[in-house]
Amino acid sequence: MNEIAIKLVNVSKNFGGIQAVIDANLEIKERSIHVFMGENGAGKSTLGKLISGFHKPDKGEIYVHGEKFHGFSSPLEAYNKGIYMVYQETTLCPDLKVRDNLILGSEISVKLDRKHEEDLIREKLTPFSVNFELPSLEVKVSQLSSVEKKIVDICRGLIKNSKIFILDEPTSSLGLKETRVLLKLVEHLRDEGHTIIFVTHKMEEALQIADYITIMREGKIINTYPKDQFQDKILLRDMVGEDFQEKNIARNIDRISDNKPLFKAFNFSGKVGKTKINNVNFELYRGEILGFAGLVGAGRSELFSLILGINKKDSGKIFFEDKEIKDLDPLLAIRKGIVYLHEERPKNGFLDFTVLRNITMPKLGLKPCDFVSHSVVIKKKERAFCDKVISDFKIVGTTNTLLSSLSGGNQQKVLLAKLLTLNPKIIILDEPTIGVDIPTKNYIYSLMNSFADSGGSIILISSDTDEILRVSDRIIIFKNGTIKNVLKNNHNKEVILNLLLLDNNEEVKTI
């Protein structure tokens, strides 16, 4: 059997009182692909970063090829031990050429020796380039596609003679085809004799490439399975824990109360950054939760930035309460009762103020407002209002707590409370449960249900298929910037996954 490349003994790490990793014990075998899987916030990335030396463990020991370390003081030290981490956010210099990025930091002399660099690149990457055509060395990294960047990043590790690669959510920014290329490459790396730690939350990928899967939940290592014991149900149970049962409770209330849609988007097209949106039409009914399922990067968030007028659309009409709204913009949307929770919390008008100021900020400009009289804020009423919101939404914190000092889950509750207290007719939730703990997740689902029950409409954008299946009334399958299917939620995960992963004429990999 293969030797052990990395061994963790009782490794723990906490960040400002939050236990990110608790007593991790683990052995990682050489020449294997070892997947760390878990939901967002399970601690899998932190564990990867502890091994890479990016973080230093608070306690516990890390052994690399039997040599003991109390964690590395810096990533550089880890490099020297042959450990290379490909971070989720690419750590390449976009303005430098591929070749310069490959060599950066490994220059041998003050004056650049380009000949030597070329030889080095050729020598280290030859086993690779037989099977993988590498991007041209003379191109700037900013011009590469996402997968090309990942590949260049991996190659950089090869140049540095690394034997152990830690890939942190490498496919999160990739499309389906790109993902396949990357997975193929990872397998190739293993076959060449490297050890790979692959951090992901995507079950499909894990099952496809892993030799071992370690499941993490809430900072703890739950179980490690070798390849012959992979079973998606068991893995899923380990990932979500006790909530597994509840997660699959079907919601069969057909609450679409009238036949006329509340909101209609017609023929939306446009371009946001590199993402193209093509001819999107959909309807939203009163009291409905409409799920937008899709892979990361499908263009769902971009669609709504076109609809809300954050980015300029090429074409598209909006009908709201039977009237056409021309040129919706974010402010007008709030006035009309359409609010949007952005997927990135900092973009949600996440103000570095107290909870109170965050909650009441959007209301100050709206008329009528209970606690503003003749442009003067009545502090007492504002505080009373805010106290009520905090107790209503079970936020752990007080009016005067800084929002940034709250936990992720509580921050999300504050942001949701901010939107819901505007009495909206439609809320658009973009990945509302990312980085949120499981109890808060469930609480958010119950908030969504009660909002819909009371006649509000919700658009839920989520890459978490289980989440979509759990709360949606109808599901829209969104792919490559357009709507592929619209279907009633029949709580059949396989159907949804097939639609999501099936790519035109390519065969589906069912699991």
Q: Residue 494 CB, nearest distance to other proteins (Å)?
A: 23
152 or 475, CB closer to other proteins? 152
Q: Cα-Cα-Cα-Cα dihedral of 83, 89, 90, 92, to 10°?
A: -100
Residues found near other proteins in the complex (CB under 8 A): 75-76, 79, 89-96, 100-101, 104-107, 109-112, 131-136, 139, 142-143, 145, 175, 177-178, 180-181, 184-185
CB of residue 105 vs other proteins: minimum separation in angstroms?
3
Residue type, 405: S
- Within 264-369, where are the H helices? 300-307, 330-336, 355-364
- Cα maximum dimension of the chain: 78
User: Residue 132 Cβ, how far from other proteins at the closest point, in Å?
Assistant: 5
Nearer to other proteins, 177 or 260 (CB): 177
Tokens of 405: 């000092």
Specify the residue, 188 or 493, whose C-beta has the smaller distance to other proteins: 188
Closest to 490 (Cα-Cα) out of 307, 248, 198, 232: 248
Nearer to other proteins, 94 or 193 (CB): 94
Handedness of CA 305, 311, 314, 317 (dihedral sign): positive
> Under a CB-based contact definition with an 8 Å cutoff, are residues 456 and 426 in contact?
yes
Q: Which residues are bridge partners to 220 per DSSP?
A: 217
For residue 343, the tally of other CB atoms under 10 A from its CB is: 19
Q: What span, in angstroms and rounded, lies between the C-alpha atoms of 308 and 390? A: 29
Helix (H, G, I), strand (E, B) or coil at 308: coil
Smallest distance, other proteins to C-beta of residue 311, A: 12
H-only helix segments in 393-471: 408-420, 438-453, 465-471
Closest distance of CB 504 from other proteins, Å = 12
Between residues 144 and 416, which has the closer beta carbon with respect to other proteins?
A: 144
Residue with tokens 């140049």: 159
Minimum CB separation from other proteins for residue 346, in Å? 18
- Least CB distance from residue 145 to other proteins, whole Å? 5
Which CA distances in Å does 17 have to 381, 406, 407, 434?
34, 11, 10, 20
First to last CA, the chain: 28
Residue 209 beta carbon to other proteins: minimum distance, rounded to whole angstroms: 13
Give whichever of 144 and 468 is closer to other proteins, judged by the CB atom: 144
Indicate the residue among 92 and 206 with the shorter CB distance to other proteins. Answer: 92
**Which of the 8 DSSP states describes residue 375?**
T
Nearer to other proteins, 94 or 226 (CB): 94
**CB closer to other proteins, 69 vs 319:** 69
Residue 10 phi/psi, 5-degree rounding, is 50, 45
Minimum CB distance to other proteins, residue 149 (Å): 11
DSSP code of 508?
P
